[in-house]
Structure 1
Amino acid sequence: MTTTLYTPRISVELVPRTRESLQAELDELRRLWPAITAVNLPDLDHLELGSCESCALPQAQGLSRIPHLRASRIALGDVPQVLRQLGSLGVSEVLVVQGDPPTDGRPVQSTTSLELIRALKAAQPDLTVHAALDPYRQSLQDEQTYALRKIEAGAASLFTQPLFDTRLMEVFGEMLPGVPIYWGLTNVSSERSRNYWIRRNRAVFPASFEPTLDWCTDFAREAVQHAQSTGSHLYFMPIRTSLRDFLGAVFPPAGGGVDPEGQELGAAALAAAGHHRRQAGAFS
C-alpha cells in the first residue's frame, strides 16, 4: 500500500527593497517554483513599497498574497478603510504583527495585535487573519498564553520567527495542539549575523549550528520532514540571498536538477527534499 505524505503549505517572504527587485523575485518564484503560491509581504518604513503596494504589483496577481499589517500604525477607527483597500486588491488573508513604531513621522498608535485581530474579524469574518509567534521574546508559558489569546481573538494560524532546531518546533507544537503553525526558516550565514540574531532577537541556536548557507538549507530540509510528520506549514524568509541559493537548495527549481518538470511540489518532491537528515545538537 502506498502511503500519501502530507504536503505542507509553503509561504515565501519577499522583502520589497525596490519595486524592481520585488518584481524580479515574484517572476522567479512563479517560474521556478510554480507550486509555491503564497507570498508574505512585510511592511517596513525604510523600504520603497508598503505591504499593500506590493500586493498591487502585476507580478503578484494570482498568488496568495499575505500583507503584514502593523498594529502600531493602524488606529482601530481606520480598520474599515484598511479592509476596503484589501478588498480592492483582492487580498483574502493578512498577517497581523505588532511591528516597530513608525519612523516616517506618522503617529504611533496604541492598537495592540489582539485588538487589531479582533477588529478585523468582527468587521470581515471571512478574512483569514494570521498572527505572529515569537519563541524568544518571553517565557515559553507566556508566549503560549499570548498565542492562544490571538487564536481566541480570531487568528487562523501562527507564523513563527525563524527557528533553528526542530526540538523547539516540537515543544510549541505540543503546547499549541490543533493550532496551525507556519515554522519560520531563514539563512544566518555569518558569525556577525548570528550575533545580531542573538542580540536583537534573543534567538537560540543549537550547539551544532554553523553560520553557513549549507547548514541553514540542510536544517530547512529537516524542517520539511517535521512539517510533513506534524501536519504543519513552512515560512521561508531568505535574507540577502537569492531564491535559487536558499529555496533552490531545498526544492529543486523547475527545469533544473532532480525535478526537471517542475510542475508539482507534492509529497514525493517534499520527501526527496527532506531526505538528508542531520543530528540536532543540544541548545547552546
Structure 2
Amino acid sequence: MNPSLFTPRISVELVPRTRESIAAELEELRRLWPAITAINLPDLDHLDLGSFESCALPQAQGLSRIPHLRASRTPLDSVPQLLRRLDSLGVREVLVVQGDPPQDGRTVERTTSLELIRALKSGQPDLAVHAALDPYRQSLQDEQTYALRKIEAGADSLFTQPLFDTRLMEVFGEMLPGVPIYWGLTNVSSERSRNYWISRNRAIFPASFEPTLDWCTAFAREAVQHAQSTGSHLYFMPIRTGLRDFLGAVFPPAGGGTDPEGKDHSAATWLPGQTGQQASAFAGVCGA
C-alpha cells in the first residue's frame, strides 16, 4: 500500500468520570483536533455516567460515538430495546466487549461476545459492530481463532488492547489479513503503572520501553506511520493525562505546533513522512 494514499481513521477514548470532565474533554477535542471525529465511550461500574448517557451529552452530538457494550451485562432478550435506544441516540457504531466481572455483586449475564455481536447484526445489519482483540490473554493462535469467530459472527473490525511494539502489530496484521484493525495506544508513565499492566493485563513491553510520556508519544508517532503503511487504524486511550499532553504530542493542535498553553509540540506531525499538502487530507479522511 502506498503510504501517501491512506490516512488512518482515529478514535479517542474519553472516560466519563464526571459529566463536567467529559464535556470539557469533548469541547477540547473539537477545538484542537477538529479532524478527529470518532470517540469511544466506555461503560464502567464505578462511574455514574454510562456509555449511553455519554452519547446523549450535547457536546458529543455530531461525533461518531462508539459506546462500549458489555456482553456480561446484556441479556440477549434486551437487544431489541438496546437497538431502539441506539437509534434514538443516532448512534451508528458500538464496541462489544465481554466485560470484567462486577465488583459490587451485580448480576452477571451468560451472554458471550459472539452471541451479542450476532444478535446486534441480526437485529440491525447496518450497525457497525466492532469487537475486541486482546493480544495478551491467551496464545496468539487462540486469539487469532477467537478474533476470526467474531468476524464470522458479524463484527466489522477489531479494537486492540494497548500495544507497545509495532512488531506485535505486524504479527496480528499478518494473522488477520483483510480484517480492519484499530491499534490501541496509551501512556504508561511510571514504573508502578508498568508493573500493573504486566500483572493485571499480561502486557508485553519491548526492551527499549521507558515508563515515560515521551517514550509513549514517540511510540504513538511510530504507530501512526505503521497504520498509514498497512491500511489500519488507531485507537488512543489517554490515561490520567490531558489530551494536549498525549494527543498533542502526536498530532499538532489546530493552529500550529504550539498548544494554547504555549507548549512546543514541534516533534509532532499529522502523519510521519507526509508533506503539508498530503497532511491537509487528514481532515477529510480520519473522521470518515
Between the aligned partners of 1:116 and 1:92, the Cα distance in structure 2 is 16
Between the aligned partners of 1:109 and 1:31, the Cα distance in structure 2 is 40
Q: Is the 1:14–1:39 contact (alpha carbons within 8 Å) kept by the matching residues of 2?
A: yes
- Tell me the residue number matched to 1:221: 221
Q: Which runs of 5+ in 2 are unaligned?
A: 261-268, 276-288
- Tell me the residue number matched to 1:95: 95
Q: Deviations over 1:186-205 (max 9, x none)?
A: 00000000000000000000
- Tell me the residue number matched to 1:166: 166
Between the aligned partners of 2:3 and 2:140, the Cα distance in structure 1 is 35
Between the aligned partners of 1:225 and 1:78, the Cα distance in structure 2 is 41
Within 5 A, what are the aligned runs for 1:269-284? 269-271=270-272
TM-score between the two structures when normalised by the length of structure 2? 0.89
Establish whether residue 234 from structure 1 lines up as the match of residue 239 from structure 2.
Answer: no
Report deviation, 1:134. Answer: 0.1
- Tell me the residue number matched to 1:65: 65
Between the aligned partners of 1:204 and 1:5, the Cα distance in structure 2 is 32
Q: Deviations over 1:154-177 (max 9, x none)?
A: 000000000000000000000000
Q: Deviations over 1:243-267 (max 9, x none)?
A: 000000000001241799xxxxxxx
- Tell me the residue number matched to 2:279: none
Instruction: Give the letter aligned to residue 18 of structure 1.
Output: T
Decide whether aligned partners of structure 1 residues 249 and 152 sit closer, same or farther in structure 2, where only a CA change above 3 A counts.
same
DSSP 3-state at the match of 1:271: coil
Q: Is the 1:189–1:211 contact (alpha carbons within 8 Å) kept by the matching residues of 2?
A: yes
Report deviation, 1:48. Answer: 1.9
Q: Is the 1:251–1:273 contact (alpha carbons within 8 Å) kept by the matching residues of 2?
A: no
- Tell me the residue number matched to 1:141: 141
DSSP 3-state at the match of 1:129: strand
Q: Which runs of 5+ in 1 are unaligned?
A: 261-267, 275-284
Decide whether aligned partners of structure 1 residues 210 and 273 sit closer, same or farther in structure 2, where only a CA change above 3 A counts.
farther
- Tell me the residue number matched to 2:209: 209
TM-score between the two structures when normalised by the length of structure 1? 0.90
DSSP 3-state at the match of 1:235: strand
Between the aligned partners of 1:104 and 1:272, the Cα distance in structure 2 is 49
DSSP 3-state at the match of 1:99: coil
Establish whether residue 111 from structure 1 lines up as the match of residue 106 from structure 2.
Answer: no
- Tell me the residue number matched to 1:12: 12
Root-mean-square deviation (Å)? 1.8
Report deviation, 1:3. Answer: 7.6
Q: Is the 1:129–1:157 contact (alpha carbons within 8 Å) kept by the matching residues of 2?
A: yes
Report deviation, 1:272. Answer: 5.3
Instruction: Give the letter aligned to residue 269 of structure 1.
Output: W
Establish whether residue 74 from structure 1 lines up as the match of residue 74 from structure 2.
Answer: yes
Q: Is the 2:3–2:229 contact (alpha carbons within 8 Å) kept by the matching residues of 1?
A: no
Between the aligned partners of 1:19 and 1:180, the Cα distance in structure 2 is 32
- Tell me the residue number matched to 1:248: 248
Between the aligned partners of 1:172 and 1:79, the Cα distance in structure 2 is 31
Q: Is the 1:68–1:97 contact (alpha carbons within 8 Å) kept by the matching residues of 2?
A: yes
Decide whether aligned partners of structure 1 residues 226 and 258 sit closer, same or farther in structure 2, where only a CA change above 3 A counts.
farther
- Tell me the residue number matched to 1:278: none
Q: Is the 1:72–1:102 contact (alpha carbons within 8 Å) kept by the matching residues of 2?
A: no
- Tell me the residue number matched to 2:257: 257
Q: Percent identity at matched positions? A: 86
Q: Is the 2:10–2:234 contact (alpha carbons within 8 Å) kept by the matching residues of 1?
A: yes
Instruction: Give the letter aligned to residue 191 of structure 1.
Output: E
- Tell me the residue number matched to 1:85: 85
Q: Deviations over 1:208-228 (max 9, x none)?
A: 000000000000000000000
